Chain A
Amino acid sequence: MFDLDKWQEILTTIKKNKLRTILTGFSVAWGIFMLIILLGSGKGLENGFENQFRGAAKNSLWIWTGRTSIAHNGMNPGRSVRFTNDDYSNLKNNIDRREFISGRFNIFWGNQVTYNNEIHSFGIRNVHPEYEFIEALTITEGRYINQLDIKDKRKVTVISTEVRDVLFKDEASDALGKYILVNGIPFKVVGFFEDESNNSNNMRLIYVPISTAQMVFSGGNRLHEISMTIEANTIEEAQSVEQDIRNRLAAVHNFDAEDRRALGTWNSFENYMQMQSIFKGIRLFVWIIGIGTIVAGIVGVSNIMIIVVKERTREIGIRKALGATPFSVISLVLFESVLITTFAGYIGLVLGVGLLELLSGISTDFFADPSADFGIAISATVLLIFAGALAGFVPAQRAARIKPIEALRDE
């Protein structure tokens, strides 16, 4: 039911009191504006941190070795612990929640990558095929390392698009299948990858099958790192997997399972989950502050409406004497309040979203792409109408209780 007359009545009153309406509306618009900006910034912060995790699976676990720091089974601290291919097989076969797993063998010298006259220094990562998923790589052309490469110790390499462009220059478009020299040994280029991680070094790399690297770069069965992704839903689950790994490796290599110098780990899932709970907290905090600001706006509107009712006592008395029912008086005040809040709030909403839109290009390490999504806009709108009704409720009731005799009494 759309009552044109009622809205005309309300618009007339609003027009008669422009300044009052603008001031009231401003507090509401400001409240919504702040809420949207806060929510958007929260989102931006979250996106920023989310970017930090991009380029590696969010459930990855990285393990490396060092020197023991705790005496164990009668042996002094300070012994070196070293991974071998056996550790890789051990974890691959025995860890229940393992998803993907890869060993890594590092070369600490040379790193010279050559094609014709282009001689450059790039990182050389020697890994298993599943490393592709642990590092969350995107293969743009060709393929990644596969099991046959490992089995046959093929001299193949997967290079980043950046490395390709640097080495091949004009020939970049048909670089696939060409041979490059890695520390003087020819390797066939079988694929190109991209890594979205923020760390630009991750694009200055080439990947080589681990078995090939151990053979040609005289590594024997030595591994430097093992990384894997795990299936875990809670931090506790992730931690229990980590503990399982520690226990197994400690038993094999004869060190204390609690010795964090002997065996280093980094559990991205744990970090990710902690980050998630921090952001849950931030989001809650932002809503509380935002709603607090809006409540201040509502109280403002309510206050003004009470004054309005007081000012209009006589008019309301006249209306009642002429046959206005309590309901029509209530709706007069209530609708005015809802109209002011909704309209002003909408302006705040548009300004807030507009500002976020302007900032949406921004992308730094910890802040990226602030935005308020459609759902937030909807909830804010519902909140506004509700707030307007709430703000008008008490004054409207007051208006309905006005007695015509008292209102019309001649002073």
Chain B
Amino acid sequence: MITIQNIHKSYNMGTNSLHVLKGIDLEIEKGELVSIMGSSGSGKSTLLNILGILDNYDKGEYRLDGKLIAGLSETKAALMRNEYIGFVFQSFNLISFKNALENVALPLYYKNISRKKRNKIAMEYLDKVGLLDWAEHMPNELSGGQKQRVAIARSLIANPKVILADEPTGALDTATSYEVMDILKTINHEGITVIIVTHETDISRMTRRVIKLKDGAIEADYIPETIRDYAKVV
């Protein structure tokens, strides 16, 4: 699904440039549940941005579902994001003046699907994350966990191949975090590739593969032993 070969990325900070990614090679198969870990400054957010076609890279090659992602126009990149990728953010990033249903339906608006049809589909996805009764509520009337579930429903609605979650549990308490992780795992079971960026070890343990970044390079790539540990915690 995702093939990355020798990716380099630097940011220009005035006169000196900051080399953030220093040659990353990575292969993620369809249907994997992967967590990317690393301390701040390790380059995990940059990697996520490149994977999400939000940022370009300087050197190397990135293939998504076999397609080379390089030198895309903004319009092309937007269409690719809409088609392949669903985003889940730490701070949810719901649009505050739209209710839960409208937020979920938004990606379909950019797919030119009629209002009636997309609201119907959005209802199905809200049902899936257990928020059918909250469809008409505005984001500020929802709890953190509910907001993240709305965001997950939104990331799923356009039928993406990959879900990219940037610290999805960062703003949630432990119990809610585990609920959100449960939903992500369910999605993964349905065959969607899920990539989670996190710095919490217990979250990474719930995934089936952990990639540790340090100083812009992969330090470790392993399968966590305690894959079902969280069950005991709950």
Binding site for B on A (CB under 8 A): 4-5, 12-13, 16, 314-315, 317-328, 400, 403-405, 408, 410
In the complex, what residues of A have CB within 8 A of residue B90's CB? 410
Partner of A321, one of B54, B79, B91: B54
How distant is A293 from chain B, measured CB to nearest CB, in Å? 33
Residues of B within 8 A of A13 (CB): 97
Chain A proximity mask over B85-120: 1 for CB below 8 Å, otherwise 0: 001011101111110000000110111000100000
Beyond the given A16-B97, A322-B81, A325-B79, could you list 20 further A-B residue pairs with CB under 8 A, ordered by the A residue number? A5-B109, A12-B97, A315-B95, A318-B95, A319-B110, A320-B78, A321-B54, A322-B82, A322-B154, A323-B79, A323-B110, A324-B78, A324-B110, A325-B74, A325-B110, A326-B75, A328-B110, A405-B49, A405-B55, A408-B93
Q: A328-B110, A405-B54 are in contact. Are A321 and B81 (CB under 8 A)?
A: yes
Pick 7 A–B contacts, CB within 8 A, sort by A: A314-B93, A318-B93, A322-B87, A322-B107, A323-B79, A325-B74, A403-B55
Does B158 touch A at the CB level, under 8 Å?
A: yes
Could you say which residues of chain A place their CB within 8 Å of the CB of B98?
Answer: 12
Tell me which residues across on chain A come within 8 A of B216, comparing CB atoms: none
Q: Bound state CA distance, A410 and B90, in angstroms?
A: 8
What's the count of A-B pairs with C-beta under 8 Å?
65
Contact between A321 and B109, CB atoms less than 8 A apart: no
Shortest distance from the beta carbon of A328 to any chain B beta carbon, whole Å = 7
**Distance in Å from the Cβ of B122 to the closest Cβ of chain A?**
13
Q: Residue on B with the closest CB to A321? A: B87
Q: Whole-angstrom distance between the alpha carbons of A270 and B97 in the complex? A: 67
Q: Are A404 and B110 in contact (CB under 8 A)?
A: no
B174 shortest CB reach to chain A, Å = 20
- A327 cross-chain contacts in B, Cβ below 8 A: 75
Contacts of B109 on A, CB cut-off 8 Å? 5
Q: Nearest CB to that of B160 among chain A residues? A: A323
Q: Is B145 an interface residue (CB 8 A)?
A: no
How far is the CB of B155 from the nearest CB of chain A, in Å? Answer: 9
CB distance from A127 to the nearest CB of B (A): 80
Across the interface, name the chain B residue whose C-beta is closest to A317.
Answer: B93
Q: In the bound complex, what is the Cα–Cα distance between A325 and B52 (angstroms)?
A: 15
Which 6 pairs, one residue from A and one from B, show the smallest C-beta to C-beta distance? Answer: A323-B82, A323-B110, A325-B78, A325-B75, A322-B107, A326-B74
